[in-house]
A = this chain, B = another copy of it.
């Protein structure tokens, strides 16, 4: 096969992970670049292109790369732009024509770009837990809550390329303020940061009750997870609250697109043992009877370090 490899790049708030991937979905080589210390987009793209050239060359694959797939916060599949991504210093309050810039820096290699959750959905459908599914919803539980919606085998981009912002649907009317400026968003409760906020609230509301969490300063969702694993009642309650809100929202998502499954991915999805039951229970309680007990809730089966790269790379096969 001519040019049998693709590059997958996952751009996050801290790092950009890049990998060379073959058609079987194996990451043959990968590399990491810090993504938050660049003055502007041009700086970052140049540093990234240099990294990619070295990656290709070290792997002995010069001239054999077919294209590049990129997953990035607020990435727009239609325009190839990154639009006002608050977590990227070089893309804050700007529209960056990222796909075009990267393609130029890589001697015209074609570049496809989408947001990180859509990339994860494509990866999951091509290589992971959603293999063979034509209708599913990917929910990424990381620093934020992202989503990639697949209907009839295709990612939903919508009229403007920004469909699938389920982290900013309303979970609690008039609830916590969210980074986006609205109130009560699912992301304000069910992201890693949301779980940490829930822990903080729990401590304030239960000043007398003993919990391992009280020993921590600046509680993170990881602290809550570790406390829950150690049997801490408060930590378990916090996950139950988180899972219940997720399940309620999932019921509404099911009423929209009637998916076969909802697939969870991201750091917080590691707390599967504490989240699964409350999610499934709350979802079924809030579903129309025709769907009750029928919609699968799955956790990504891709290894986390590879998944983001695979997801992004899967885009590049279709360019």
Q: How far is the CA of A169 from the CA of B161 in the complex (A)?
A: 24
In the complex, which residues of chain B have a beta carbon less than 8 angstroms from the beta carbon of A28?
Answer: none
Interface centre among A159, A172, A182, A289 (most CB of B within 10 A): A159
Q: Does A258 contact B (CB under 8 A)?
A: yes
Q: Does A134 contact B (CB under 8 A)?
A: yes
Could you say how many copies of this chain the assembly holds? 2
Contact of A252 among B84, B169, B290 (CB under 8 A): B169
1/0 contact string of A106-130 vs chain B (CB within 8 Å):
0000000000000000000000000
B259 touches A158 (CB 8 A): yes
A164 touches B83 (CB 8 A): no
A152 touches B149 (CB 8 A): no
B182 touches A286 (CB 8 A): yes
Instruction: List the 4 closest pairs (A to B, CB-CB), nearest first.
Output: A158-B258, A163-B258, A135-B159, A159-B260
In the complex, which residues of chain B have a beta carbon less than 8 angstroms from the beta carbon of A259?
Answer: 158-159
What are 16 A-to-B residue pairs whose CB atoms are below 8 Å? A83-B290, A135-B159, A151-B156, A156-B256, A156-B258, A157-B258, A159-B260, A160-B291, A160-B294, A161-B258, A162-B258, A162-B290, A162-B291, A163-B256, A166-B256, A173-B173
B158 touches A257 (CB 8 A): yes
- Distance of A96 from chain B, by nearest CB (Å): 15
Q: Do A170 and B253 contact each other (CB < 8 Å), given the known contacts A158-B258, A289-B180, A290-B83?
A: no
A286 touches B158 (CB 8 A): no
Q: How far is the CA of A250 from the CA of B165 in the complex (A)?
A: 13
The number of chain A residues with a CB under 8 A from chain B is: 43
Q: Which of chain A's residues 237-275 have a Cβ closer than 8 Å to chain B? A: 248, 251-253, 255-260
Contact of A255 among B83, B168, B291 (CB under 8 A): B168
Contact of A156 among B83, B159, B257 (CB under 8 A): B257
- Distance of A241 from chain B, by nearest CB (Å): 14
Q: Does A63 contact B (CB under 8 A)?
A: no
Q: How far is the CA of A9 from the CA of B9 in the complex (A)?
A: 51
Q: Do A170 and B251 contact each other (CB < 8 Å), given the known contacts A180-B288, A257-B156?
A: yes
Q: Does A207 contact B (CB under 8 A)?
A: no
